[in-house]
Amino acid sequence: VEPAALDRALEPSLVDGLAERSGQERSSVLDGLSVLLPRLVNLAAPDGKAESARLPDASQLLGALGGLLGKRA
């Protein structure tokens, strides 16, 4: 996933919030998400099929992303 595509697809406040919490520039957050999101999707749906029992809660997912991005700083 290209960072520019994520920038268009995600709410600006989401990306800005992750940037603020992680202490990174917005572009760095988008770069990180472009690597992390495909990996998370593969974990949630390894065979291309998402099972509702395996899907994380959205707030947990965003919290995990914030933590992962914070560790990259």
**Quick one: what percent of the chain has pLDDT higher than 70?**
67
Please state, rounded to an integer, the average pLDDT across all residues of the chain.
Answer: 80
Cα(18)–Cα(52) distance, integer angstroms: 26
Q: Who has greater pLDDT, 28 or 66?
A: 28
pLDDT band with cut points at 50, 70 and 90 for residue 8: very high
Model pTM score: 0.67
pLDDT value of residue 43: 75
How many CB atoms within 10 Å of residue 29? Answer: 27
